[in-house]
Structure formats: structure tokens, C-alpha cells
Amino acid sequence: MPYGLKRGKMTTTSEAIHMAEATPRDLHEYLTTFIKQAVATYLAQEQIAFDIEQLPIDLRFSAQASFGDYSMPVMPWGSKNKLARKPLLIAEALAAILRDMQIPAMQEITVTAPGFLNFRLNRPFIGQVIIERVLDAGADFGQSDTGIGTKYVVEHTNINSNKAAHVGHLRNSSIGDTVVRMLRSQGYTVEAQNYIDDSGVQVADVVVGFILLQQGALELPGGNERLPGETFDYYCSRVYVAVGKAFEEAEAVKESQPEKLAKLNELRKSVLRAIEHAGELEAGSDYALLAADISHQIVHAHLATMARLNVSYDLLTWESVVLRSGLWQRVFVMLRDKGLLEKPETGKAAGCWVLPFGEGDTQTEEGDRS
């Protein structure tokens, strides 16, 4: 008879919940409790005087799905210094006792040689119990105080402040926010951080785009003016696409018209220098001010987008602030002086300072493996 069924009728939802109320919420613990009861019954039936605690209950996930969800070997119990019985006979006796218990969460209990007990879960019953518990607890379901006194920092989203968020960014934000909520539900103190990369090439290229627009040297897809209802971040997306196309076109004719690519590269380098050294330059650095204005407007747009998903942050870490504060330089010198950085002479990273990942298979954002 499938477990979860009473003789002659199906167990009702209320009856199932009643049976589950005294059931440990962890299935491993739940099943172990019944196994210990079965062992005690078996020892009494066989008139064996033996300490149950000396019989290891090694309950594990089944190696093969055909065996069920959980399996437990009883072979170690058959030795002369324990029960002095054939493991297969012990397993069969325990299976019979467990079946008679009509364990609600068990659909099937079987035995395989040389002495394994196999358990297949009654999924409809377990699902029924879980659904009832979720509905009963509501938003408090799964809450605990396990993590009280421990703090985690979860950094997620991390979008370049140069264009609108796309579906991949939203996916990452949803995953990160889920981790934050899960940890908080367990009592952990969590600081949700969003690292704003506002000093890289992507931001520089949007600044290049605005400069070229002012010079009348760039055409945007859909026209150079803001479209009706178009937010600033989406407008910058069009600017970014147009700049990328301009670089591609200049690259294509670099043999016959090398000055085109040279001018674009020089403008990009000038903007990057202005952004990365904003704290060292005169307050009137037009490129740095333009980059800061663009980044702040786009980040505000990103935050508005995330708010629609009910995603929020405790701290925004701006890369430009890290650079201007001198923190990056101090950390770099510390890592270099401790010998933690390498400067390869060959390969893609030739001439660059590199922080090795160490042993194991890793992959960079660019797809390089080490």
C-alpha cells in the first residue's frame, strides 16, 4: 500500500498536516527517526541486547534513481561484534517493520543486495504538506534566526553607467536580490552593494559620443535628438551603439585613412585620462565633468528600473571615488610589495600587472581560462 494512504481511503489534507505536525522538517532527520524506531523493534523481536547507538545509520542519497531517493547500508551491522546476522536478512526485516509503520512521507521501501534499505518519497504528500505550511506561514515561511550576529556583503547588479539596463542585467539583479533576501530571512545582517563602474572604456565611449555629436561628426540610429518618451539611459544606449559603429568603420579603412581611427583613439584616451585622474586635474576638466554628469544620470535611471523590480541597495560603490581617494593606488602598492602581483612578458596580459587566481579552473569576464 502506498504510504500516505489509509486502508480504504485517501488521507485528507487536514489529516496529512496533522500527521506531519510532529514530523521533523528535515527529511533526513524525519526518516532517521523512523529507522531508529524500526531498529529498536527488530532488536526486541530478535531478543538481541545491543546498544542502538553503536549501529551507524548512514542514510544517503541513492546512487541510482531506480533504487529510490534515499538508501542506507546495513552491511556493517552484520559483523560478529555487532548483530551477527546476514545484512540482507537484517535489511528485509527492517523493511517489513518500516512498511507496517505506514510512514506518511514514504511511497515505497525496498531492499537490494548485499544489504541496502531503499526509500522512495511520497512526493504528493510532501508537496501537500509544504503547500499547507507555506500558506499558513505566509511571508514568515522559512524564517529563522540562524544567522544572527553574522554579517554578509552581497555585491550584485554592477552595470556600467553608460546605457540602459538590459535583460541580462535584470537577471543578475534578480539573482543577487534573491540571495540578499534569503540571507536576511535567516537572520543574517546583509549589506547589499552595487559597484558602479563609471571610469572604464564604456563610459568613455559615451562621452566620446556626446563630443562627436557636438561637433556634428556622429549620426545616431533614429536621429540625434531624444525621441518622445525616451529616457536618458536609453538615449545613451543609442549613443554607445553609434560610437561603436564609428570605431568599426574607422578600423575598416585604417589602411587608406589612418587618421580617422587615430583621432578616435586619441579622443578616447583623452577622455579616459580625464576620468581616471579627475581628482588630480583642475576642477574645470570638461571631459571629467561630462563623464560624471552622464554616469550620475544613468545610475539614477538604473535605480528607477531596479525599483520597479523592488530591488534596492544599501551602498553604491563608485569606481571613480575609489580612484580619486587614492585607495586603489594604496592597495596596488601593498599587493605589489607583498609579491602577490605578476607582470607577464608574453601573452594577452604582457606588460600588465596581474593578480593570479591560484589553482583551479577560472574564467575571466573576457572568456580567458586559467
Nearest to 205 by CA among 250, 171, 255, 166: 250
Taking CA 169 as the corner, what is the angle to CA 163 and CA 173, rounded to the nearest 5 degrees?
130
| Residue 215, phi then psi, degrees to nearest 5 | -85, -5
More confident residue, 319 or 52: 319
The predicted model gives 86-111 an average pLDDT of: 93
pLDDT at position 13: 37
* Second CATH level (architecture) for the domain 5-139: 2-Layer Sandwich (3.30)
Q: What is the pLDDT of residues 247-256, one digit of tens each?
A: 999 999 999 9
Q: Which residues pair with 109 in a beta bridge?
A: 119
- Please tell me whether residue 40 adopts helix, strand or coil conformation: helix
| pLDDT(141) > 90 | no
| Residue 111, phi then psi, degrees to nearest 5 | -130, 140
pLDDT at position 11: 37
The Cα 218–Cα 243 span in angstroms is 8
| pLDDT(315) > 70 | yes
Element (H, E) at 186: none
| pLDDT(81) > 70 | no
pLDDT at position 85: 84
Cβ-contact 155, 174 below 8 angstroms: no
For the ranges 7-16, 121-130, 199-208, the maximum mean pLDDT occurs at 199-208
What are the cell numbers at 145? 534566526
The two domains 5-139 and 151-325 share their CATH topology (first three levels equal): no
The Cα 283–Cα 289 span in angstroms is 8
**What residue spans define the domains of the chain?**
5-139, 151-325, 337-370
| pLDDT(8) > 70 | no
| Residue 174, phi then psi, degrees to nearest 5 | -65, -40
The predicted model gives 262-288 an average pLDDT of: 82
Cell 558602479 belongs to 196
The Cα 55–Cα 49 span in angstroms is 12
Q: How deeply is 136 buried, as exposed, middle or buried, from its count of CB atoms within 10 A (0-12, 13-18, 19+)? A: exposed
Cβ-contact 342, 354 below 8 angstroms: yes
Nearest to 309 by CA among 134, 159, 178, 196: 178
In b/e form, how buried is each residue of 60-88, taking b as 16+ CB within 10 angstroms? eebeeeebbbbbbbbbebbeeebbebebb
Q: Tell the CATH superfamily of the 151-325 domain.
A: HUPs (3.40.50.620)
Q: What is the mean pLDDT of the chain?
A: 87
| pLDDT(323) > 90 | no
Lowest mean pLDDT: which of 70-84, 156-170, 339-353? 70-84
Q: What is the pLDDT of residues 168-192, one digit of tens each?
A: 999 999 999 999 999 999 999 999 9
CA-to-CA separations, 151 to 158, 186, 369, in angstroms, rounded: 21, 11, 32
